[in-house]
Structure 1
Amino acid sequence: DLVDTLEMMVQSQARIRRKQRLRPKERNMEEQNLIMRAKELLMERNNMSESEAHRYIQKCSMDSGTNLVETAQMVISLIHV
Protein backbone atom coordinates (compact mmCIF):
# COMPACT_ATOMS: atom_id res chain seq x y z
CA ASP A 1 0.00 0.00 0.00
CA LEU A 2 0.92 3.67 -0.05
CA VAL A 3 2.45 3.73 3.45
CA ASP A 4 4.76 0.79 2.65
CA THR A 5 5.84 2.37 -0.62
CA LEU A 6 6.53 5.69 1.09
CA GLU A 7 8.50 3.94 3.84
CA MET A 8 10.65 2.12 1.25
CA MET A 9 11.34 5.43 -0.54
CA VAL A 10 12.38 7.10 2.72
CA GLN A 11 14.70 4.19 3.58
CA SER A 12 16.20 4.30 0.08
CA GLN A 13 16.90 8.05 0.39
CA ALA A 14 18.50 7.49 3.81
CA ARG A 15 20.80 4.81 2.32
CA ILE A 16 21.82 7.19 -0.49
CA ARG A 17 22.59 9.97 2.03
CA ARG A 18 24.68 7.59 4.17
CA LYS A 19 26.72 6.52 1.13
CA GLN A 20 27.31 10.14 0.15
CA ARG A 21 28.49 10.98 3.68
CA LEU A 22 30.98 8.11 3.63
CA ARG A 23 32.47 9.23 0.32
CA PRO A 24 35.19 11.91 0.66
CA LYS A 25 33.95 15.35 -0.32
CA GLU A 26 35.43 16.70 -3.53
CA ARG A 27 36.58 20.28 -3.11
CA ASN A 28 37.34 22.83 -5.79
CA MET A 29 40.72 24.55 -5.97
CA GLU A 30 39.50 27.67 -4.16
CA GLU A 31 38.25 25.57 -1.23
CA GLN A 32 41.46 23.53 -1.15
CA ASN A 33 43.50 26.74 -1.15
CA LEU A 34 41.48 28.17 1.76
CA ILE A 35 42.08 25.03 3.83
CA MET A 36 45.77 25.03 2.93
CA ARG A 37 46.13 28.73 3.81
CA ALA A 38 44.48 28.16 7.21
CA LYS A 39 46.83 25.22 7.86
CA GLU A 40 49.85 27.33 6.86
CA LEU A 41 48.81 30.10 9.24
CA LEU A 42 48.35 27.63 12.10
CA MET A 43 51.72 26.03 11.29
CA GLU A 44 53.47 29.44 11.32
CA ARG A 45 51.72 30.93 14.34
CA ASN A 46 51.43 27.84 16.56
CA ASN A 47 54.42 25.74 15.46
CA MET A 48 52.12 22.92 14.32
CA SER A 49 52.91 20.25 11.79
CA GLU A 50 50.61 20.06 8.76
CA SER A 51 48.80 17.04 10.20
CA GLU A 52 48.34 18.81 13.57
CA ALA A 53 46.94 21.89 11.82
CA HIS A 54 44.61 19.75 9.71
CA ARG A 55 43.41 17.86 12.79
CA TYR A 56 42.85 21.14 14.63
CA ILE A 57 40.67 22.47 11.78
CA GLN A 58 38.79 19.15 11.65
CA LYS A 59 38.12 19.21 15.40
CA CYS A 60 36.98 22.84 15.38
CA SER A 61 34.74 22.00 12.44
CA MET A 62 33.15 19.08 14.26
CA ASP A 63 32.80 21.01 17.54
CA SER A 64 31.15 24.01 15.86
CA GLY A 65 29.03 22.05 13.38
CA THR A 66 30.52 23.85 10.38
CA ASN A 67 32.22 22.33 7.38
CA LEU A 68 36.00 22.37 6.88
CA VAL A 69 35.94 25.28 4.43
CA GLU A 70 33.87 27.49 6.75
CA THR A 71 36.17 26.65 9.65
CA ALA A 72 39.25 27.43 7.53
CA GLN A 73 37.72 30.81 6.65
CA MET A 74 37.16 31.51 10.37
CA VAL A 75 40.78 30.57 11.20
CA ILE A 76 42.07 32.88 8.46
CA SER A 77 39.88 35.79 9.56
CA LEU A 78 40.79 35.36 13.24
CA ILE A 79 44.53 35.23 12.58
CA HIS A 80 44.43 38.17 10.14
CA VAL A 81 42.83 40.59 12.62
Structure 2
Amino acid sequence: MAVQMFLEGPGMERRAVRFLAINKTEIVTRYRGATIVIDAQRLVDDEGQIATQVDVEGLRFQFQQSAIIWSLLVA
Protein backbone atom coordinates (compact mmCIF):
# COMPACT_ATOMS: atom_id res chain seq x y z
CA MET A 1 0.00 0.00 0.00
CA ALA A 2 1.34 3.43 -0.97
CA VAL A 3 1.53 6.39 1.38
CA GLN A 4 -0.70 9.31 0.42
CA MET A 5 -0.10 12.90 1.50
CA PHE A 6 -2.60 15.73 1.69
CA LEU A 7 -2.49 19.34 2.78
CA GLU A 8 -5.55 20.44 4.75
CA GLY A 9 -6.52 24.09 4.70
CA PRO A 10 -9.41 26.32 5.58
CA GLY A 11 -12.85 24.73 5.72
CA MET A 12 -11.22 21.28 5.86
CA GLU A 13 -10.30 21.56 2.15
CA ARG A 14 -7.77 18.86 1.25
CA ARG A 15 -5.33 18.80 -1.64
CA ALA A 16 -3.41 15.70 -2.64
CA VAL A 17 0.34 16.47 -2.76
CA ARG A 18 3.57 14.68 -3.55
CA PHE A 19 7.17 15.26 -2.54
CA LEU A 20 9.10 17.66 -4.77
CA ALA A 21 12.39 18.55 -3.05
CA ILE A 22 14.26 19.41 0.14
CA ASN A 23 16.24 22.63 0.47
CA LYS A 24 17.95 24.63 3.22
CA THR A 25 15.67 27.37 4.52
CA GLU A 26 15.93 29.91 7.32
CA ILE A 27 12.91 30.21 9.59
CA VAL A 28 12.25 32.33 12.66
CA THR A 29 11.25 30.31 15.72
CA ARG A 30 8.69 31.38 18.29
CA TYR A 31 11.32 31.06 21.02
CA ARG A 32 12.86 34.53 21.27
CA GLY A 33 12.62 34.99 17.53
CA ALA A 34 15.76 32.95 16.88
CA THR A 35 16.57 32.22 13.23
CA ILE A 36 17.54 28.63 12.42
CA VAL A 37 18.31 26.74 9.23
CA ILE A 38 16.25 23.61 8.47
CA ASP A 39 16.00 21.11 5.63
CA ALA A 40 12.58 22.27 4.43
CA GLN A 41 10.36 20.05 2.32
CA ARG A 42 8.65 21.30 -0.80
CA LEU A 43 5.45 19.63 -1.94
CA VAL A 44 3.46 20.04 -5.15
CA ASP A 45 -0.26 19.53 -5.73
CA ASP A 46 -2.04 18.19 -8.83
CA GLU A 47 -2.30 21.71 -10.28
CA GLY A 48 1.46 22.30 -10.00
CA GLN A 49 1.24 24.70 -7.05
CA ILE A 50 4.27 24.44 -4.76
CA ALA A 51 3.96 24.48 -0.95
CA THR A 52 6.97 25.05 1.30
CA GLN A 53 7.42 23.89 4.89
CA VAL A 54 7.17 26.76 7.38
CA ASP A 55 7.77 25.02 10.73
CA VAL A 56 10.50 22.99 12.39
CA GLU A 57 8.34 19.87 12.80
CA GLY A 58 7.45 19.57 9.10
CA LEU A 59 3.68 19.67 9.57
CA ARG A 60 2.80 23.18 8.34
CA PHE A 61 3.09 24.36 4.76
CA GLN A 62 2.37 27.49 2.78
CA PHE A 63 1.64 27.75 -0.94
CA GLN A 64 3.41 30.42 -2.95
CA GLN A 65 1.45 33.68 -3.24
CA SER A 66 -0.73 32.76 -0.22
CA ALA A 67 -0.75 33.70 3.46
CA ILE A 68 -2.76 30.63 4.49
CA ILE A 69 -1.02 27.86 6.46
CA TRP A 70 -1.93 24.27 5.52
CA SER A 71 -1.47 21.15 7.68
CA LEU A 72 0.15 17.97 6.40
CA LEU A 73 -1.92 14.77 6.61
CA VAL A 74 -0.43 11.36 5.83
CA ALA A 75 -2.62 8.33 5.03
Coarse TM-score class (shorter-chain normalised): under 0.3
TM normalised by structure 1 equals 0.22
The structure richer in helix per residue is 1
The structure richer in strand per residue is 2
TM normalised by structure 2 equals 0.23
